[in-house]
Amino acid sequence: MKVDELKALAYKSLDDLKGQDIVCLDVRGLTSVCDYMLVVTGTSNRHLKALTDELSKKVKQSGVKVRGMEGQNQTEWILVDLGDVIVHAMLASTRALYDLEALWSITAERAGNENKE
């Protein structure tokens, strides 16, 4: 699966389960870890778990391997590593504290959310 298709699949999965304020950061050229980072806010610990479980399920159904998931036990911040796309699902307070968008936006350009359908 191409990276843009994977990014669109991840975005749609998060949006379908009412993930809030989904932002896609284009970090190509800034890191070799991934091409895109998606950041999404969940309304509760249970919502974060549902978002990331459904994302993992959809990605696996499409034939892509989930490389790793971290934080399922704390559920304030769950990271899903899809290879070229990394998803950060966070509670609003955790997202505000770490402010990943500002950290990466210093040099990154925000990727458009054009894949939202």
The domain ranges of the chain are: 3-110
**Per-residue pLDDT at 101:** 83
Residue 4 to residue 85: CA distance in whole angstroms? 9
CATH architecture label of 3-110: 2-Layer Sandwich (3.30)
Residue 83 near residue 67 (C-beta atoms within 8 A)? yes
**Residue 82 one-letter amino acid:** L
Residue 63 near residue 15 (C-beta atoms within 8 A)? no
Mean pLDDT of the chain: 88
**Per-residue pLDDT at 31:** 82
**Per-residue pLDDT at 29:** 80
On the question of pLDDT at 3 being above 60, the answer is: yes
Q: What is the DSSP string of 49-68?
A: HHHHHHHHHHHHHTTPPP-E
Q: In the predicted model, what is the mean pLDDT of residues 48-52?
A: 95
Global confidence as pTM = 0.86
